[in-house]
A and B are shown apart, each in its own frame.
Chain A
Amino acid sequence: KTHGVFHLGRPATADEIAAWDIDVRPDGHGLPEGRGTVAEGEALFTDQCAACHGDFGEAIGRWPVLAGGQDTLTNDRPVKTIGSYWPYLSTVYDYIRRAMPFGNARSLSDDDVYALTAYVLYLNDIVTDEDFELSRDNFTSVEMPNKDGFIDDDRLSEPHYAGKAEPCMNDCRPGKAEITMHAAVLDVTPDAEDGEGSPS
């Protein structure tokens, strides 16, 4: 009865924590020992990833696009990829290790994940050398192109919220309402290019 108020549960062992605590933060906290090169990653990617994500991260069908799309974030149809959008490399390592390949998660070694992460950097032209080796030692030196692309939630400063005005009740808009857009029936597809219209 060494802990807490209710004295429920039991202390976790170091091995138990190590088995489940695999998350990695942007500062490198949580990175395991290991290393992998772009060339090693390419072979792994071809075997394990390309069937969904395409040979070059361009994606098959509606599966996620992993590469390209740089400088499209202000376009009418942005292409949000690891290279164009993701702020931190740690997220790539963490997510591949915990959740990929889809349908066979937790099947890659720590070295495999380093190699795949290196290859995804290569696909996005963030590293250009096929001999580049990613490891725990150099991991946090890699900067992602869109690392400064994020701001904290400031919705409440938007004009429709900021005033908290009493809303109009009568004669709020002139003229009769006119339809500007009809819902199509269920055969419309939102943004087929990268699937970002979907709640993915």
Chain B
Amino acid sequence: MTNTPTRRSFMKGGLGAGAALAAAGLAAPARAEGDPAITEIQDWNRYSGPGVDASPYGKPSKFEAGVVRRNVAWLTADPVSSVNFTPLHELDGIITPNGLCFERHHAGVAEIDPHKHRLMINGLVETPLVFTMADLMRFPRENHVYFLECAANSGMEWRGAQLNGCQYTHGMIHCVMYTGVKLKHLLDEAGVKTNGKWVMPEGADASAMTRSIPMEKAMEDCLVAFRMNGEALRPEQGYPLRLVVPGWEGNMWVKWLRRLEVGDEPWQAREETSKYTDLLANGKARRFTFLMDVKSVITSPSPQAPITHGRGRTVVTGLAWSGTGRIKRVDVSLDGGRNWVTARLDGPSLPKALHRFYHEFDWDGSELFLQSRAMDEAGFVQPTKQELRAARGPNSIYHNNGIQTWHVATDGAVENVEIS
């Protein structure tokens, strides 16, 4: 520690640290001046730790036990058709660890024996085909980093500030490196007929999810993926096979992918009529709102990550993304959008992937209204929630990419608010 902790930050900084210091002081009177974390020999400095045979598949430190997916029970009728949230406030960089990627299932996690998994292509093709996983591993592979955002991410916030933490307001998103086969290769293998204009992926789980995807998108950049961040897909992410639909709403990234049908019209499945259609104020609803628009959020400080170090040097960090392509710029405001400064993008800048931004400043201890505003390489600027509501009303459920405001109080506590 380079700064002497203030009394306030000491109290806020965690009872754990304070209690440990007090206990150490009682148990072993200081033999020397200074921090007992330095002046006293620690257990981990004295005793051997676990061997290389203790943990064939490693887990995070027990001190990171709070870095977990969380769900909100009241959001849905049943946890089997429900969602949980990525702990964005605890993460950095742009890659989401596999075990923390948010989950959204419609009939729970299918447990599929990869040896019994098949992928069928049928419909308007020259030769309907069946592939085994072994067959799919023999196609040319590609690696791409993409974000996957649920269409309903931030959906609970359409009517105003509801959930207190970016994990809940923005955590239906993850970003990993996918390894897979271009969907185009598979479709070409079957031979799409000239009137084949739409592709319908179908899942093997009990919800048998289906969506209609335009052929142009299927041929452009969709992948049939079997790895994430280097290892096999997690069961909750579609093991052994899922569709990757870069930049488009997460519902279309069909997991446990077992079938691709080619047709000349969309199917109008439940997930593109009843759901994933966006009701406007005039009673009409938009359908086929595939693209996830330019968006950002400050992940720290945030309600679950308050400022505990007191005034002085402070790191503001967050994520920005756009289904259109790369993020060109992120601006940060400390005063609720009155004035903006351009943040520093750091790390890889990849199309349709998360981007990490930072803004470092000296906090004087006064209250802040933190906002971030992303701009993508096509020139689209993230709108305010007021602008979105003016255009759509409050009942669209999906595609809320409005600017988020965090109120930082003088004691460093942070709250999700809406402001004038």
Q: Which residues of A contact B (CB under 8 A)?
A: 2-6, 8-12, 16-17, 20-21, 23-27, 29, 52, 61-64, 73-74, 76, 78, 80, 82, 85-88, 90-91, 94-95, 98-99, 102-103, 105-106, 149-155, 158-161, 164-165, 167-173, 176-190, 195-200
Contact with A along B148-190 (1 / 0, CB 8 A): 0011100110011111100010001000000000000100111
Task: Say yes or no: A173 contacts B337, CB within 8 Å.
Answer: yes
Task: Say yes or no: B420 contacts A177, CB within 8 Å.
Answer: yes
- Write the nearest CB–CB distance from A29 to chain B, whole angstroms: 8
Task: Say yes or no: B76 contacts A177, CB within 8 Å.
Answer: no
Q: Is B195 part of the binding interface, using a Cβ–Cβ cutoff of 8 Å?
A: no
With A105-B107, A167-B375, A170-B339 known as contacts, the answer to whether A25 contacts B135 (CB < 8 A) is no
Q: Is B305 part of the binding interface, using a Cβ–Cβ cutoff of 8 Å?
A: no
Q: With the chains together, A65 CA to B151 CA distance in Å?
A: 21
Task: Say yes or no: A170 contacts B288, CB within 8 Å.
Answer: no
Q: With the chains together, A188 CA to B273 CA distance in Å?
A: 28
User: Which of A74, A167, A187 is the one whose CB lies under 8 Å from B281?
Assistant: A74
Q: With the chains together, A47 CA to B45 CA distance in Å?
A: 66
With A98-B208, A185-B164 known as contacts, the answer to whether A87 contacts B120 (CB < 8 A) is no
Q: With the chains together, A26 CA to B80 CA distance in Å?
A: 29
Interface size class on chain B is 35 or more
Q: List 15 A-B contacts (CB under 8 A).
A: A6-B138, A6-B185, A8-B139, A25-B267, A78-B279, A85-B274, A85-B285, A99-B208, A102-B107, A152-B286, A155-B293, A177-B335, A182-B161, A199-B75, A199-B397
List of A residues within 8 angstroms of B369 by Cβ: 177
Q: With the chains together, A81 CA to B164 CA distance in Å?
A: 30
List of A residues within 8 angstroms of B270 by Cβ: 91, 94-95, 99
Q: With the chains together, A26 CA to B268 CA distance in Å?
A: 7
With A151-B284, A173-B336 known as contacts, the answer to whether A86 contacts B202 (CB < 8 A) is no
List of A residues within 8 angstroms of B261 by Cβ: 21, 23
Q: Is B306 part of the binding interface, using a Cβ–Cβ cutoff of 8 Å?
A: no
Task: Say yes or no: A23 contacts B269, CB within 8 Å.
Answer: yes
With A20-B258, A85-B274 known as contacts, the answer to whether A169 contacts B339 (CB < 8 A) is yes
* B184-212 interface (Cβ within 8 A of A): 185, 188-191, 200, 202, 206-208, 210
A85 and chain B: residue at smallest CB distance: B274
List of A residues within 8 angstroms of B76 by Cβ: 62, 195, 198-200
Task: Say yes or no: B420 contacts A87, CB within 8 Å.
Answer: no
List of B residues within 8 angstroms of A99 by Cβ: 106-107, 206-208, 270
Task: Say yes or no: B162 contacts A155, CB within 8 Å.
Answer: no
List of B residues within 8 angstroms of A23 by Cβ: 200, 202, 210, 261, 267, 269
Task: Say yes or no: B129 contacts A9, CB within 8 Å.
Answer: yes
List of A residues within 8 angstroms of B392 by Cβ: 158
B138 and chain A: residue at smallest CB distance: A8
Q: Is B10 part of the binding interface, using a Cβ–Cβ cutoff of 8 Å?
A: no
**Other CB < 8 Å A-B pairs besides A8-B139, A158-B383, A184-B162, 10 of them?**
A6-B185, A64-B77, A161-B380, A173-B337, A185-B164, A186-B164, A188-B163, A195-B77, A199-B83, A200-B76
With A4-B191, A159-B387, A159-B391 known as contacts, the answer to whether A149 contacts B284 (CB < 8 A) is yes
A18 and chain B: residue at smallest CB distance: B122
Q: With the chains together, A154 CA to B391 CA distance in Å?
A: 11
User: Which of B120, B164, B274, B283 is the one whose CB lies under 8 Å from A73?
Assistant: B283
B187 and chain A: residue at smallest CB distance: A4
Task: Say yes or no: A160 contacts B383, CB within 8 Å.
Answer: yes
Task: Say yes or no: B129 contacts A150, CB within 8 Å.
Answer: no
Q: Is B259 part of the binding interface, using a Cβ–Cβ cutoff of 8 Å?
A: yes
With A73-B283, A152-B286 known as contacts, the answer to whether A179 contacts B407 (CB < 8 A) is yes
Task: Say yes or no: A158 contacts B391, CB within 8 Å.
Answer: yes
List of A residues within 8 angstroms of B416 by Cβ: 182-183
- Write the nearest CB–CB distance from A179 to chain B, whole angstroms: 5
Task: Say yes or no: A153 contacts B395, CB within 8 Å.
Answer: no
Q: With the chains together, A179 CA to B379 CA distance in Å?
A: 30
List of A residues within 8 angstroms of B168 by Cβ: 186
User: Which of B152, B265, B379 is the one whose CB lies under 8 Å from A199?
Assistant: B152
List of A residues within 8 angstroms of B265 by Cβ: 25-27
B128 and chain A: residue at smallest CB distance: A12
With A168-B340, A172-B340, A177-B420 known as contacts, the answer to whether A6 contacts B139 (CB < 8 A) is yes
List of A residues within 8 angstroms of B285 by Cβ: 73, 85, 149-151
Task: Say yes or no: A200 contacts B81, CB within 8 Å.
Answer: yes
- Write the nearest CB–CB distance from A112 to chain B, whole angstroms: 17
Task: Say yes or no: B268 contacts A88, CB within 8 Å.
Answer: yes
A190 and chain B: residue at smallest CB distance: B156
Q: Is B419 part of the binding interface, using a Cβ–Cβ cutoff of 8 Å?
A: yes
User: Which of B159, B288, B383, B415 is the one whose CB lies under 8 Å from A152?
Assistant: B288
Q: Is B289 part of the binding interface, using a Cβ–Cβ cutoff of 8 Å?
A: yes
List of A residues within 8 angstroms of B106 by Cβ: 99
